Structure 1
Amino acid sequence: MSIVKVLLVDDQELMRRGLRKMLEVEDGIEVVGDAADGEEALMLAAAHHPDVALVDARMPAMNGVELISRLSVRHPGVAAIVLSTFDEDDYIFGALRGGAVGYLLKDCTPEELIDAVRRAGRGETVLASPVAARLIAEIRRTPAAPSVLRDGDRVSAREAEVARLIAVGASNREIAARLLLTEGTVKNHVSSLLRKYGLRDRTRLALHLQDIPRP
């Protein structure tokens, strides 16, 4: 089993200690550091190369949105998840635009948090249900990206199957099991679909390709 290395970033020491105790007892998860502010987090990310960063939205000096934007530039391999009390649009959309792969609320269950860490470590997006609903509503309010293939590209039958399963909310692991593929192969198909359709994330792919025909 591969180890998911986690960096904790929260200005409250009690919160950091609680998260560390919760995660350290889980197989396949290792907490490689915890930081009380953004600058310390950037230094620890450079030193320990975490796979996942759990980031509080509100912190002094450098808030979570700014930290995630900097992490995306300096350490693009780190999958950042916001863990916050607040579900305000500025934090949600700012964090996702900055490169976060997830946004969870602090009233989530321990099981939901642990599952989110594992999924983020596999390259998946993780959103709390209220956050996902608001994100989808915002996407539907904005002009849709054209779901037209670029010149010379076409969607294969396998990519169409992957897209249909994404549309109903299946994870990479679930798609792999359903289609008898490895998770790495599924991830490659998802990346290919995003490139071909000029889309930025799985949510937009699900919305625009629900009824993609087989070639």
Structure 2
Amino acid sequence: MMREPKQDRSRATRQRLLEATIECLADSGWAATSVSVVAERAGVSRGATQHHFPTREDLITASLEYMFDSRMTLIDDGDLDAAPEVGRTEAVVTRIVDQYCGTLFKAALQVWTAAAADQELRRRIVPLEERFGRVAHRVAVRQLGVEDDADPVVHRMVQATLDLGRGLGLADVLTDDSRRRAEIVRNWATQLDAVLADARRRRARDVRTG
């Protein structure tokens, strides 16, 4: 039987460590996420772990990058491009909210909390979260079929949708908030749909009279 190439094994080990870090952060919190705990959870020796990530800070920073990429993959899955127009807005809002209610967000929340009291960690995480916010907004605009994000009302509503998702994710940390969350998503999607429809009508009117 052919052995897996060394480079592939190294990449697989690195990914296991990053995934184990995220799971540990979400399940056990910041203080409990040590290099040794992560290594044990990933089934990797401490020496191999330190080969990839010499310090805890290196491991956490790499995990933040991995969380960013994974969160963007979840929010930008692409399937909605083929979704029917009816119910599309609710489908987009649901996807955004679901992204904030999963393991990745819970892990990120642990890091945010730690960063509030750790200036060096805050220096590392703020640029990543600012980048995530910008990309998430662009993705939401595209998925919602927004024609003019320069419209201040539309821009604020899209941003409010992302803020709503974050707030509902926080509400879900301690208790299962799924039933209330589903109703909020439906109601918000109805309001957002009305705003987007009104913006399309204004745009069409401006084109005709322009």
Tell me the TM-score normalized by structure 2.
Answer: 0.29
Higher RCO, 1 vs 2 (CA within 8 Å, ≥6 residues apart): 2
Higher helix share: 2
Higher strand share: 1
Tell me the TM-score normalized by structure 1.
Answer: 0.29
